Amino acid sequence: MSERSSIFDMIGPIMIGPSSSHTAGVVRIGRTARHILCEMPTEATIIFYNSFAQTYEGHGSDRAVIAGLLDYATDDVRIKTSFDEAAKVGFKYTFKSAGNASTMHPNTVKIIVKSENREIELVGESKGGGLVNIASYNGFRADFSTSLNTLIILADDVKGSVAFISSILSNDDCNIATMNVSRVGKNALACQFYEMDSSVRELTLAYMRSLSWVKEIISLNALE
C-alpha cells in the first residue's frame, strides 16, 4: 500500500453508487476541474476513453462528471439528478466517446470546460476506490491525486525557480509530499505541481503571485 493510501481509501469513499471508479472517482475529477476553473461552468465537452467509453452511460459516469463540475461531493444525492441541476443554472455540456486509446489508463476522462472568463482542459484517471490521478492540466503533465492540498504554478522556466518556491513553502511550514514539473521547452513556460500536507497561507500566495516570472497560481484544498 502506498503512502497516499489508507484502508479507508481501499474500501472506498461514502458515495452515491453504483461504482467507486465509475462514479465517485469521476465526481472527484469533475470537482477538481471545477475548483481549478474557480467559477461556475457554462459549457463543457467531456470525452470518455477505453472502458469509460463503453460504460459511462450505464454506470452513471456521465451524471457523475456533471455533478463534480457543479461541485457536488461524492455522497451528494443530487448526483442522480445532476442533469436537471445543470439545466437549472444554464450549464450546457456534450459527451463524446473516444473508444480505445492504448496509451491511456482504462478509466480516463478528458474535460474541456469553460466559464465566463476561463477555459481549461483536464485529463483524469479513476483508479478505483474513489482514488484518482489528474494526469494533465492544459497540456502539462500533472500527476496529482486530489487527496492532498495541491499548488499549481504556471511560470517562466527560469533557473532556480523550483528551489525558490520550495524554500518559500518550507518557510510557511508546508511539507511537500510530491512535486512534478512539466514544461513546453527549455526556457519556455513550465507548470509546477506541489502536493502538500497543509494549505498555503494567503499572504504567501500573494507574495508568490507578485513574482515577475509567475503567471498563475492555483491553490486546491484536498478533496474528501
If asked whether residues 15 and 103 sit together in one domain, one would say yes
What value does the mean pLDDT of the chain take?
A: 89
If asked whether residues 36 and 117 sit together in one domain, one would say yes
- Tell me how far the alpha carbon of residue 12 is from its chain's centroid: 18
If asked whether residues 58 and 118 sit together in one domain, one would say yes
Q: What is the dihedral of CA 161, 38, 44, 107, to 10 degrees?
A: 60
If asked whether residues 87 and 18 sit together in one domain, one would say yes
- Using one digit for the tens of pLDDT, what is the confidence trace for 158-173? 999 999 999 999 999 9
Cβ-proximal residues to 164 (8 Å cutoff; 6+ apart), any chain: none
How many separate domains does the chain show?
2
If asked whether residues 127 and 198 sit together in one domain, one would say no
pLDDT at residue 10 is higher than 70: no
156, 173, 185 from 170: Cα distances, Å: 21, 5, 28
Q: What pLDDT sits at residue 216?
A: 97
Mean pLDDT of all residues in 10-37: 74
Sign of CA dihedral 153, 154, 156, 157: positive
If asked whether residues 116 and 170 sit together in one domain, one would say no
Mean pLDDT of all residues in 174-202: 92
Flag whether 216 is in a domain. yes
Mean pLDDT of all residues in 164-187: 92
Q: CATH code at 30?
A: 3.30.1330.90
Task: Give the residue with greater pLDDT, 160 vs 188.
Answer: 160
Cβ-proximal residues to 212 (8 Å cutoff; 6+ apart), any chain: none
Q: What pLDDT sits at residue 19?
A: 54
